[in-house]
Structure 1
Amino acid sequence: MNEVIQLPCMRERFLRRERRSVPAARRFTKEALADWGLGGGERGEDVLLCVSELATNALLHGVPPGRGFRLFLRYDGDVLRVEVHDSGPGVPRVAEKADEGGRGLLLVAALADKWGVGERDPGKAVWAEFATGRSPALKG
């Protein structure tokens, strides 16, 4: 029997400020994508890579000691949105020179259809969106 997925779908996970949070974020995302019929293919790997980059940025630059970050996944049938919320100050930016940090955001900008930064109190939410209707690889 085929399971009917009701839209919109949302998942959320709190992750601590520790190295194992990045692979945990990838596993969490991979499970959600599979449940929503979006797993597999090159586009699914793009989503996982962006989750890794956003989680890594949150750990390195956005999460003060003793805190963590939240990963939100939202899927409305057309667009998958990944958001990483942290409580740190500052606005992330794409590196202008090869020797600067910010190369992770360069990957996110290249792989996602849209990305940006929103305000939170405290901190920020960095997000990336992936259109699912135009990519057969994401439709599973």
Structure 2
Amino acid sequence: MNAETELPYQRDQFYGRSRRSVPAARHFARWSLTYWGLDAWDRAGDVSLCVSELATNALLHGVPPGRGFLLRIRYDGEVVRVEVHDSGSGVPRIPDEADEGGRGLLLVSLLADKWGVGERAPGKSVWAEFVAAGERDRFSRRSR
């Protein structure tokens, strides 16, 4: 097997502290799903929206001036995992009050099958997982 066909697939992209980083991250996520044959997957839009929310949170709360964030997208044949790594402190959470903000994480919690926060030195990684078992094979068989 070569690197193009061997699972898990992984794509990493670093983004600077810029307003253009969120749409660029969303585009990168869609490109990755297309590259892996998941572009027609019914959850591709959910992945894209969660990437936007996690990237926005990183820029607003986790990326100090002069720094950026890393977007990592993995696919192991069963699960698509999105991770946004930043160097900020604090633990993201869904607020108790609706007017506190935090609707982005609420969306992530509703759209993803799982989500969470991991520690990094420095900072954190916020991740979301989407079950996609068998999707690549189903779409590649359909297109033949």
TM-score, normalised on structure 1? 0.91
Number of residue equivalences: 136
Map of 1:29 onto structure 2: 29
Query: Could you tell me how far apart the structure 2 residues matched to 1:15 and 1:129 are?
Result: 21
Map of 1:55 onto structure 2: 55
Contact 1:5–1:36 (CA under 8 A) maintained in structure 2: no
Map of 2:142 onto structure 1: none
Query: Could you tell me how far apart the structure 2 residues matched to 1:92 and 1:101 are?
Result: 11
Identical residues among aligned pairs (%):
66
Q: 3-state SS of the aligned residue for 1:93?
A: coil
- Map of 1:1-140 to 2, 5 A cutoff? 5-133=5-133, 140=139
Q: After TM superposition, which residue ranges in structure 1, 4 or more long, deviate above 2 angstroms?
A: none
RMSD (CA atoms): 1.8
Query: Could you tell me how far apart the structure 2 residues matched to 1:98 and 1:41 are?
Result: 31
Q: Residue 40 of structure 1: CA displacement?
A: 2.7
Q: Which moved more, 1:92-101 or 1:114-123?
A: 92-101
Q: 3-state SS of the aligned residue for 1:42?
A: coil
Query: Could you tell me how far apart the structure 1 residues matched to 2:22 and 2:72 are?
Result: 14
Paired residue type of 2:95: A
Query: Could you tell me how far apart the structure 1 residues matched to 2:40 and 2:47 are?
Result: 10
State the Cα deviation string for residues 86-108 of structure 1 (Å, max 9, x = none): 00000000122110121100000
Q: 3-state SS of the aligned residue for 2:100?
A: coil
Q: Residue 41 of structure 1: CA displacement?
A: 4.3
Q: Which runs of 5+ in 2 are unaligned?
A: 140-144
Query: Could you tell me how far apart the structure 2 residues matched to 1:5 and 1:102 are?
Result: 38
Contact 1:74–1:81 (CA under 8 A) maintained in structure 2: yes
Query: Could you tell me how far apart the structure 1 residues matched to 2:57 and 2:108 are?
Result: 11
Paired residue type of 2:65: P
Q: 3-state SS of the aligned residue for 2:14?
A: strand
Paired residue type of 1:37: G
Query: Could you tell me how far apart the structure 2 residues matched to 1:5 and 1:110 are?
Result: 31
Q: Which runs of 5+ in 1 are unaligned?
A: none
Query: Could you tell me how far apart the structure 2 residues matched to 1:55 and 1:82 are?
Result: 10
